[in-house]
Structure 1
Amino acid sequence: GVVAINGTLDEALANKINEIYVEVIIAANVDEKALAVFEGKKRIKIFTQESPFLIRSFDKYDFKHIDGGFVYQNSDEVGEDELKNAKLMSQREASKEELKDLEIAMKIAAFTKSNNVVYV
């Protein structure tokens, strides 16, 4: 699985994450004690916001190779005004904090290349 954290991965959170199957952790920051928790796991990958592997290409188009050709499509992206233009489908409006969480969740989902569940 993949875990993305909009904050610091500390030792307490690392111990909780270590209880489940995880292949990739993405966090804003990681402290040294948290890294020590995962020291014995050789296949786990931990990225921080400074990681060059997380820099997204700003190409507007995406090419996928398939047998006999390729698929050409627009890249997934979350526009600046996407939440502002969203239509209310429930009885109450979302709070500012909920809208912030939704924006984070939408960006994670847009950049994920497989099925995902985002819990913010």
Structure 2
Amino acid sequence: MIASVSAESRDLVLSHGVLMPLLEQFNDKTKPTIVEKATKTLSKLCQRKPRFEQVKSAILPLAHLIHIDDVAVLWYACEALFHLTCGEMDMKQAVIEAGVFPRLFELLPRFRHQHLI
């Protein structure tokens, strides 16, 4: 994926408005395989410390995705949240306010059991 090559390429992809159509894929009518691919793409867009304004609209969908019972979706959503918490303080605060940490703590044993971490 082009957006994962560098921060500049990610910013270029985001500047073309890819985030909102991507986030629209997270609904009850979307096939699980598409949700998995969209979550992986979203994770790539969250790498390399994007600016808060670029990705803030992804935080609440990510908070929802960590409740889906699909190990790949969970993994990519957790990975995206991790990347976001490595960024600006506003981003860290938004992730905290999204209330994801209780669920992330619940998931730790599951990932450890599956040898993903």
Give TM-score, length-normalised by structure 1.
0.28
Larger-Rg structure: 1
Higher helix share: 2
**Relative contact order, higher structure (CA 8 A, sep 6+):** 2
